[in-house]
């Protein structure tokens, strides 16, 4: 059995993408890509491909487990850890910027922590897109 997951793109414009992610754990945990920037809409006019994102806002509810938001790279780097429920608006201090090192792809991964069967999370990310 595998975790039951839903990934939904709510908005995907030239500058902003909003993604909703839901996971119901089977107890084995999840550690994989949740935002593949190459699949986001290209920049209108120029047709440039999205190569990265910054995280502007996070809305979340984690029941029974925590979630690491990771910048995908050769060695993934934790951007933020979510536990419980809440909202973070990083815009006033500057968005969370991908500062992963070697092998940085621009993608975002999630890794569940302390998961048991039936635990769940719902996370919504507001992302600012970059090109080139």
Q: Is the dihedral of CA 13, 81, 20, 58 positive or negative?
A: negative
Domain spans in the chain, listed from the N-terminal domain onward: 4-131
pLDDT tens digits, residue range 28-77?
999 999 999 999 999 988 999 999 999 999 999 999 999 999 999 999 99
What CATH topology corresponds to 4-131? Jelly Rolls (2.60.120)
Residues 6+ apart with CB under 8 A from 39: none
113 to each of 6, 31, 41, 79, how far by Cα in Å?
18, 10, 31, 15
| pLDDT of 100 strictly over 70 | yes
pLDDT tens digits, residue range 109-121?
999 999 999 999 9
Average pLDDT, the chain: 96
| pLDDT of 1 strictly over 80 | no
């Amino acid at each position: 059995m595998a975790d039951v997951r839903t990934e939904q793109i709510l908005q995907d414009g030239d500058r902003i993408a909003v993604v909703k992610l839901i996971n119901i754990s089977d107890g084995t945990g999840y550690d994989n890509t949740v935002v593949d920037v190459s699949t986001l809409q290209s920049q209108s006019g120029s047709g440039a491909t999205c190569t990265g994102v910054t995280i502007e806002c996070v809305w979340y509810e984690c029941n029974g487990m925590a979630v690491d938001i990771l910048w995908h790279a050769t060695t993934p780097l934790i951007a933020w850890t979510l536990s419980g429920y809440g909202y973070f608006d990083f815009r006033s201090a500057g968005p969370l910027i991908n500062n992963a090192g070697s092998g940085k792809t621009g993608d975002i991964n999630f890794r569940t922590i302390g998961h048991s069967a039936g635990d769940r999370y719902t996370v919504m990310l507001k992302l600012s897109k970059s090109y080139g």
